[in-house]
Chain A
């Protein structure tokens, strides 16, 4: 969507509040969260830094985009629907920001993608409990539902499970790891490393 142009005077006025805006984005990033332009705008209004009559959100949105583009420490990331989010690269890396925006997808899709990435890159299987931690924050029930969904869909048949000798379940992609290798790596991560300190 094309943004309305922003007047020099408005830009100048917003610019005086740059430090507060940066601090706000940074605080969210430190807490492991992204922030939308609407949230920054609402917070500045709440703090009394912006006056609602004088500064429209459309103008603020345009300014924020510009500001982020010019600031090395800030970054924009869009979710699957093209909605922009902002974060501070001083406190958050792009890979983490991506995990957050990808939460908008069906959780089983994200789970499968993460499993494939791990199997391909490190390479390693991942413990299913990982998806209960931030930034995934799935409940046990949601994780179970995801696993059922993955097992039922043709395009996710590469996502497999292996159970370690102490009963923990790990997930891997057969596209990148064969079952023997995945089982060995899961055992190494879950049991082997602590038994060989």
Chain B
């Protein structure tokens, strides 16, 4: 058999109940599903029956990577972790979490495209993978430890090169709001407790192999260079945030914050990020400083450098050194993370004594990262923090807790914005301690149910950004009007989709964005300027379909959807065009399976269709449009009473969104009345096998 490019070739299956370890041929069994979430959905469809609960031994957890993981392709460090989702309310359904770091490459170099974990160990264990040598090891000495110590101990056994994905106390205690984390700060939320339910503390992997590239080496290098040249800063922001000599455009909202005089002040010696001309590919890592983006110029003096995933020059995890926190809070003075992880502690507070981005806010970030990333607590894209602010300031906590428990918290500290309050709160969430800790650890949906609060209350409150099923919106109408809304209806957790937002936030003027939109989605009318929305049209539906499929494709290839797709670039000489075929170019050369952009998108469509089939099967209804693809009230309400499509409001029109859903369903070959895919659509994409099962249950329109 010819040597396979891209894929490592084996899927590892570990049964923790029996201790049996086996492998399957990836290409034979899963090629049509690429990798990542594709393998995850297929395993759940084939092997996890409806009605299984997340913490049942019968649930499976699939760590999947794709054919581009561990290659030289930029931004290839993502591992997709698919399972039945414990915070999905009122009924757990399939979903996936995604972590960056070095785990994906390590797994490939060890010879595996995925790990299927099934069953439940009778005592705490960890999984050691050293190439072909795979062992289930005793983890009783690690149980009760945080992620940091667990990682260090496993690294001491396996060697410093091992990538360790571990859970903290939150996962062990079956707290649904828990993560698995590797490489110090790269976490996947929602799955920690599923590992905990299997008594699986961690997976350590050392791979000494490599990924074979099937195609011509020169062509491969050429595509890699093209891809690198198209990269912007984090989230594919392609213009700097202030005027630069080389930049025709600038935009104060972008994450391209490098500039002459902006220095990584805690580096020895300090490093000036400089003007960062986009043609200088050796300085891509200088462009982004997410601490400075979120916390302002004060963060520069604390910045050591950026950190990130295998093969990614963006380095979106900013490493900070804040000496004051060691003496004030007794925590390490160095911490790193990105986005909500970076702001984990800060987002709990309404205000700080020295302002929203003062020294105290930075300290809150450091304390939050230290605690959450060791205990393994998940934030559900900031919903935990938004919920907390609401339930405290509206008196819900006081009402729901007994007086004795309420008094154990230093609420004066909390109101004053004292980061030390986090030491009282976060360990109690991880340890399910008391009513408040337990309720917050359930996630929004189950917390509301526990406290008898109708979900509708959350769906009305714009400040909460809550969407449905226990989860918030993730780049919705605030970013991309109808396209954002449609995308947020589809998944069983927050959408985690950036394809659309990475375009609308790229920083280019609206006329340039419209020119690019016309090239990619067929008309300039596919996009509007933010807050200047126009009624739904077919091009917006096409963009929404593309948005969805690119997210799914990235999750299967191990490319980062927080950074891609790459339809815009910072290059003036290209008219700011990116290349929408970069994924298919990389895939074709790496695997030797030549596929056009359209052909690869069709594979992504098959994979997403399987996600839809799973959702329908496990919900037991085909009425997706009314039962699943719902839109919260806050999207439809404008505080100032402005009509939809008025400049300055992001709120949307109900009838227009109904039309939008129908157009979107039509683009995907789904029934416009129910939102369920048609039998012919399943068959068209090679999923004929789901039709029989769904038909028997009356789940095909």
Contacts and interface: CB of A to CB of B under 8 A. Distances in A.
A127 B296 CA distance: 14
A96 B640 contact: no
Nearest to B235: A197
Contacts, number: 99
A103 to B, nearest CB: 12
Contacts of A180: 640, 642, 646-649
A196 B245 contact: no
A193 interface: yes
B647 A178 contact: yes
A181 B531 contact: yes
Interface residues of A, number: 39
A84 interface: no
B478 A188 contact: yes
Nearest to A185: B531
Interface in A125-171: 126-127, 130, 133-135, 166
* Residue of B243, B340, B650 with most chain A CB atoms under a 10 A cut-off: B243
Contact of A30 (B245, B248, B252): B245
Contacts of A94: 248
B465 A196 contact: yes
A107 interface: no
Interface stretch (A56-64, A67-75, A116-124): A116-124
Contacts of A30: 245, 275
B308 to A, nearest CB: 16
Interface string B519-532: 00000000001111
B10 interface: no
Given A184-B648, A188-B530, A196-B478, A133 B245 contact: no
Interface string A81-120: 0000000000111111001000000000000000000000
Given A30-B275, A181-B647, A96 B642 contact: no
B359 to A, nearest CB: 16
A122 B531 CA distance: 12
A126 B252 contact: yes
B479 interface: yes
Interface stretch (B102-110, B134-142, B505-513, B652-660): B505-513
A195 B246 CA distance: 30
B243 A96 contact: yes
Nearest to B274: A30
Contacts of B649: 180, 184
Contacts of B244: 32, 96
A196 B479 contact: yes
B475 A196 contact: yes
Contact of A93 (B340, B531, B572, B646): B572
Interface string B225-263: 000000000000000001111111101110000011000
A16 interface: no
A71 B555 CA distance: 47
A173 interface: no
Given A91-B246, A122-B510, A130-B242, A188 B531 contact: yes
A183 interface: yes
Nearest to A132: B242
Contacts of A32: 244-245, 260, 275
B339 interface: yes
Contact of A121 (B246, B478, B511): B511
Interface in B644-672: 646-650
B356 interface: yes
Contacts of A29: 245
Contacts of A123: 510, 529, 532
B685 interface: no
Given A32-B245, A93-B248, A134 B260 contact: yes
A194 interface: yes
A193 B530 CA distance: 11
A21 interface: no
B531 A99 contact: no
A181 B648 contact: yes
B531 to A, nearest CB: 5
A182 B649 CA distance: 11
A130 B247 contact: no
Contact of B509 (A121, A126, A181): A121
Contacts of B650: 184
A44 to B, nearest CB: 23
A193 B505 contact: yes
A134 B243 contact: yes
A97 to B, nearest CB: 8
Nearest to B234: A197
A96 B572 CA distance: 14
A96 B647 contact: no
B414 interface: no
A51 interface: no
Contacts of B293: 194
A12 B642 CA distance: 70
A178 to B, nearest CB: 6
Interface in B359-411: 382
A133 B242 contact: yes
B30 interface: no
A96 B260 CA distance: 15
A100 to B, nearest CB: 9
A182 B530 CA distance: 11
B243 A135 contact: yes
Contacts of A134: 242-243, 259-260
A189 interface: yes
Interface in B487-522: 505, 509-511
Contact of B340 (A184, A192, A193, A197): A197
B277 interface: yes
Q: What are the 10 closest A-B residue pairs judged by CB atoms, nearest first?
A: A180-B648, A181-B648, A197-B339, A181-B647, A92-B245, A189-B253, A32-B245, A184-B648, A93-B248, A121-B509
24 contacts: A30-B275, A32-B244, A32-B260, A91-B277, A92-B245, A92-B246, A93-B246, A96-B246, A121-B510, A121-B511, A122-B510, A134-B260, A166-B355, A180-B642, A181-B531, A181-B648, A188-B478, A188-B531, A189-B252, A192-B478, A196-B465, A197-B294, A197-B340, A197-B343
Interface of A: 29-32, 91-96, 99, 121-124, 126-127, 130, 133-135, 166, 177-178, 180-185, 188-190, 192-197
Given A96-B245, A122-B509, A180-B647, 13 more contacts: A30-B275, A32-B244, A32-B260, A96-B247, A122-B251, A177-B647, A181-B532, A182-B648, A184-B650, A185-B531, A188-B530, A190-B252, A193-B505
